[in-house]
Each structure stands twice: as structure tokens, then as C-alpha cells.
């Protein structure tokens, strides 16, 4: 088939290939066959994405740009009205999510690394999407204290079923912060939709604790998703050399970093203790490290073979992990895209039933992935 014919075929699909690349061939990975389509490329270190009601996507780039991408043809438009960001090292514009009632109120939520006295911090803000601009933008919350560091911002966002907004914050590379309840860093935060602190947060009555903290002892959580059945928020986080974890945050729970880990430290003791009294352990961990980033539950009837699976991107081992679950237990793991050398930064379920993926490179891609059934299996 000619390249022209492939490109013309792509225009009939949604999502489809961009004019930059047609990548329609099915590929065998592990025990599954999948089809990979490149919607667009040329994204500069994309980090987060959110699917709009009309099917377009909002995609963040760490350098401080928010793009609206049309899956039908890969066309991108830049969104204005954003805050300034500190995009050194791992910082910049990070996650994006929509208010649960976005169709009514238009609220778009962003996290970013922002400068302040003493260094920088993970910020949360929101604005209303009006055409190609965020209007009425306001900063809702800043994870303090500011730290002179360029790493471990955490920064994933997800709303739970009751409307609380959960926000992850990494330890900023200073591990003791994760056990310090007076410090937002190294924690999962729970906020109201306007950034206020809920009255029933676990530490609101403690003078020695930050009231926004929901759980603590987290190293650098870069994945968060709300389970479609239980409604509970799940996260994953980077370990040091190994010990990447999947955790299910609970009110007031300590998830152990750095006093408990399955990984090897970069300094100090060779291996921290595996079990410490009062620490909640992970439901799953990876050693050696895969460097997980982005996660999504799949609950679309179009592809029942993926129903109930959890998908996790991997930066260091450059693959997409497909986890089969039995309740809150991981019973099987499969690695997809392992031969591509793509750093999978973001994962989202598409309205058409496949998965959207972001690759974290200077020339990053937005991909659409489906199981392979026949040559038209990726047609919505």
C-alpha cells in the first residue's frame, strides 16, 4: 500500500494518524497484539492530558505550553492564559484535569512548578476554558515549604467519586520531608474543588500537621487514577533503585518512605527495612525500577479483553504495563511496546475505547493504542 493511501485511510479514522506519520501496523508484544497510531508528534516533553467532551485533548508541555489537540487530524492549537512556570530539570507545567462538571462550568485544573521565596513548589490552579484561553485563572493551593530543588514535584491530579480533588506532591529530593506532617512535600493532598481544605481531612485538628495532607510517606507519585468501581483513588510512585510502588491512599496512612522501601537507596543504608510497624505497604511493587508515570483504569465495553485492567507507563524501561486485577490485588502483568524505546509519560482511556499515551521526549508523541483484532480494530 502506498504512503498516500495510508494517509488517506487515516483521515477516515478517529483517532487517526497525523500527516507527520502513519504508523498503523499491528505489533506483537508479549502475549498480546496491539495497534499503535501516532496522532501527532513534535510535542516538547509532554506531561499530562485530559479529554474534552468534544473528543479533543488538552496536553501540557513542561516548558509551559498547554495545547488543544484534535485526534481526527493531529492539529494543535495553543491555549493562552497560563501562569509562569519554573521548567528547570523535572519542573514546569505538569498535570491537567477537568472538573467533574466541566461541561457546565468549564473549569480546567493545572499543576506546575512555580518559583517563590526559597526555591520552588508544586502549585495548583484553575481557569475556565473559553475558546483558546483560560480565563479567570487563579492559584488555588501551593505545597509549602518552597525548596531549592528541581526534582520530585509529584503533581498528578484526580477527582474522587464524591468530588474531592487529590493532588500528589513528591518529597522534592529531600526524603525526610515525607515523614514530616508539617510539610506538604512527600504527601497526597485532599482538597475541595476550590482548593479549600475539607473539614474531615485526617489531620485538621492537629496543630503539628498540615491540614491538607490525606496520606504521607510518599516519595514521588507521578500516577493517580480513581477506580471506576470502588471510587477509591490509586497512585503509583517512584522508588530509588527499585521499589516503585502502587498504593491506595487511606486517610492518615503512612506509606513508609523513606523508613520502608523495597528499593535500594542511592546513599546511606544499602536497603531500608522492608516492614515497619504502622506503615501501610504497597499492593504491588517493581524491582528493578520501571520508573512509572501516568496510569489509567480501562472500563470501556469496546475492548472487553482490557476490561478492568490498570495501565501504567514506564519511563526507564520504556513500555506500557498492563496489570490484570482481582479486586485490589495484581494477579498478572504484561509489558506492551517494550521494543519501542518510548518513555511513556501519560496514559488515558479514550472515549472510543483505546488508550491515549504521551511519550516524554523533546520530539514527543501522542499515541492511540488498541488491541489488534483486524485491520480496522482502531476505528471508533
Q: What is the pLDDT of residue 376?
A: 53
pLDDT digits (tens, 9 = 90+) for 201-213: 999 999 999 999 9
User: CA 114 → CA 55, 83, 210, 224, distances in Å?
Assistant: 30, 9, 20, 21
Give the three cell numbers for residue 137: 485563572
Q: Tell me which residue of 321, 303, 298, 178 sits closest to 239, measured CA to CA.
A: 178
Is 288 in contact with 311 (CB distance < 8 Å)? no
Judge whether 282 lies within some domain: yes
Q: What are phi and psi of 283, to 5 degrees?
A: -85, -15
Element (H, E) at 165: strand 165-169
> Which DSSP letter does residue 373 get?
S
Judge whether 378 lies within some domain: no
DSSP 268-295: SSSB--S--TTBPPPSEEESS---EEEE
pLDDT digits (tens, 9 = 90+) for 178-197: 999 999 999 999 999 999 99
Residue 133 vs residue 270, higher pLDDT: 133
pLDDT digits (tens, 9 = 90+) for 157-175: 999 999 999 999 999 999 9
Judge whether 203 lies within some domain: yes
Whether 155 shows a pLDDT value over 90: the answer reads: yes
Average pLDDT over every residue of 284-305: 96
Q: Tell me which residue of 265, 263, 281 sits closest to 329, measured CA to CA.
A: 281
Q: How far apart are the C-alpha atoms of 32 and 177, rounded to whole Å?
A: 42
Q: What is the pLDDT of residue 267?
A: 77
Give the three cell numbers for residue 21: 506519520
**191: CATH:** 2.120.10.30
pTM > 0.85: yes or no? yes
Q: How far apart are the C-alpha atoms of 135 and 70, rounded to whole Å?
A: 21
Instruction: List residues with catalytic annotation.
Output: 152
Q: What is the pLDDT of residue 273?
A: 72
Three-state DSSP class for residue 54: coil
Is 200 in contact with 212 (CB distance < 8 Å)? no
Q: What is the pLDDT of residue 150?
A: 97
Judge whether 15 lies within some domain: yes
> Which DSSP letter does residue 164 get?
P
Three-state DSSP class for residue 235: strand
Is 125 in contact with 139 (CB distance < 8 Å)? yes
pLDDT digits (tens, 9 = 90+) for 65-90: 999 999 999 999 999 999 999 999 99
Reported for 319-324, long-range contacts at CB under 8 A and 24+ positions apart, including other chains, are 319/29, 319/290, 319/344, 320/344, 320/347, 320/355, 320/357, 320/369, 321/290, 321/292, 322/32, 323/284
How many separate domains does the chain show?
1
Judge whether 379 lies within some domain: no
Judge whether 280 lies within some domain: yes
The residue segments making up the domain with residue 276 are 3-371
pLDDT digits (tens, 9 = 90+) for 10-48: 433 444 333 334 343 334 344 357 999 999 999 999 999
Nearest-Å Rg of the Cα atoms of the chain is 20
Judge whether 221 lies within some domain: yes
Judge whether 104 lies within some domain: yes
Q: What is the pLDDT of residue 372?
A: 85
Q: Where are the alpha helices (DSSP H) in the chain?
A: 3-11, 102-105
Q: What are phi and psi of 9, to 5 degrees?
A: -65, -35
Length of the chain as a residue count: 380
Q: Tell me which residue of 196, 173, 73, 56 sits closest to 124, measured CA to CA.
A: 196
Amino acid at each position: 500500500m502506498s504512503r498516500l493511501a495510508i494517509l488517506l485511510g487515516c483521515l477516515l479514522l478517529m483517532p487517526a494518524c497525523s500527516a507527520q506519520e502513519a504508523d498503523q501496523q499491528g505489533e506483537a508484544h508479549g502475549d498480546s497484539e496491539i495497534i499503535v497510531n501516532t496522532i501527532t508528534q513534535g510535542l516538547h516533553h509532554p506531561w499530562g492530558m485530559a479529554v474534552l467532551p468534544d473528543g479533543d485533548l488538552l496536553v501540557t508541555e513542561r516548558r509551559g505550553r498547554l495545547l488543544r489537540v484534535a485526534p481526527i487530524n493531529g492539529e494543535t492549537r495553543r491555549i493562552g492564559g497560563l501562569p509562569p512556570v519554573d521548567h528547570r530539570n523535572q519542573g514546569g507545567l505538569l498535570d491537567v484535569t477537568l472538573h467533574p462538571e466541566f461541561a457546565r462550568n468549564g473549569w480546567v485544573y493545572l499543576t506546575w512548578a512555580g518559583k517563590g521565596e526559597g526555591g520552588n513548589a508544586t502549585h495548583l490552579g484553575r481557569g475556565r476554558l473559553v475558546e483558546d484561553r483560560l480565563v479567570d485563572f487563579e492559584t488555588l493551593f501551593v505545597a509549602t515549604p518552597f525548596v531549592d530543588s528541581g526534582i520530585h514535584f509529584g503533581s498528578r491530579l484526580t477527582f474522587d467519586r464524591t468530588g474531592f480533588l487529590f493532588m500528589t506532591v513528591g518529597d522534592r529530593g529531600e526524603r525526610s520531608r515525607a515523614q514530616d506532617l508539617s510539610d506538604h512535600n512527600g504527601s497526597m493532598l485532599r482538597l475541595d474543588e476550590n482548593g479549600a481544605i475539607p473539614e474531615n481531612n485526617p489531620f485538621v485538628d492537629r496543630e503539628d500537621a498540615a491540614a491538607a495532607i490525606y496520606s504521607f510517606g510518599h516519595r514521588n507519585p507521578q500516577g493517580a487514577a480513581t477506580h471506576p468501581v470502588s471510587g477509591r483513588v490509586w497512585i503509583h510512585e517512584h522508588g530509588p533503585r527499585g521499589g516503585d510502588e502502587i498504593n491506595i491512599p487511606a486517610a492518615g496512612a503512612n506509606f513508609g518512605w523513606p523508613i520502608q522501601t523495597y528499593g535500594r537507596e542511592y546513599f546511606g543504608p544499602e536497603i531500608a527495612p522492608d516492614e515497619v510497624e504502622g506503615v501501610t505497604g504497597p499492593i504491588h511493587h517493581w524491582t528493578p525500577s520501571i520508573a512509572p508515570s501516568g496510569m489509567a483504569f480501562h472500563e470501556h465495553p469496546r475492548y472487553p479483553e482490557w476490561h478492568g485492567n490498570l495501565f501504567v507507563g514506564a519511563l526507564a524501561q520504556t513500555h506500557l504495563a498492563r496489570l490484570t486485577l482481582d479486586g485490589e490485588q495484581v494477579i498478572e502483568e504484561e509489558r506492551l511496546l517494550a521494543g519501542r524505546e518510548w518513555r511513556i509519560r501519560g496514559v488515558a482511556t479514550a472515549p472510543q475505547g483505546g488508550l491515549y499515551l504521551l511519550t516524554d521526549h523533546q520530539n514527543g508523541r501522542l499515541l492511540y493504542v488498541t488491541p489488534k483484532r483486524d485491520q480496522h480494530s482502531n476505528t471508533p
